[in-house]
Amino acid sequence: MSPKLPSAFAEFEPFAEKWCLATEPERWATRLATPMPEIREFYDAFSPRFEEAIDYCDKFPLDDVPEDALNLLHLIYSMIMVSMAVEVFGTQKPADSADAVIDRVSAPVP
């Protein structure tokens, strides 16, 4: 299997298959379906290099992002999604949220 992420971020390849997701609804569904210990593992691993990953992606114009950097950007988006579960709620699904879903009709690109 070929690497999904830039070589500078190869240590996060174990998370790439699950968390390099192109859309917010995919990230939301994955967060809801993932046990908190697994979410916490991803969060704890990626947090120390989060800003560095953003800086790396910022080197590319939005209309010409290489595939490996785009995957890293998707990993960043997933980190944002799981950070709320870790830092605020302490669980994948916010309490008293009924059947919360995300129905976005358009999304930022990339």
Mean pLDDT of the region 77-82: 96
Which alpha helices (DSSP H) does 1-110 contain, by range? 13-19, 24-33, 36-46, 50-57, 67-84
In a domain, 7, yes or no: no
Spatial distance between the Cα atoms of 110 and 106, rounded to a whole number of angstroms: 12
Q: Using the structure block, give the residue that is written with the tokens 């988006």.
A: 77
**3-49 pLDDT tens trace:** 999 999 999 999 999 999 999 889 999 999 999 999 999 999 999 99
In a domain, 6, yes or no: no
In a domain, 22, yes or no: yes
In a domain, 100, yes or no: no
In a domain, 53, yes or no: yes
Domain count across the chain: 1
How many CA atoms within 13 Å lie on the side-chain side of 15? 28
Mean of all residue pLDDT scores within the chain: 90
Mean pLDDT of the region 82-109: 74
Element (H, E) at 105: none
In a domain, 5, yes or no: no
The residue range of the domain holding 74 is: 14-89
In a domain, 44, yes or no: yes
In a domain, 48, yes or no: yes
The answer to whether 75 and 26 have CB atoms below 8 angstroms apart is no
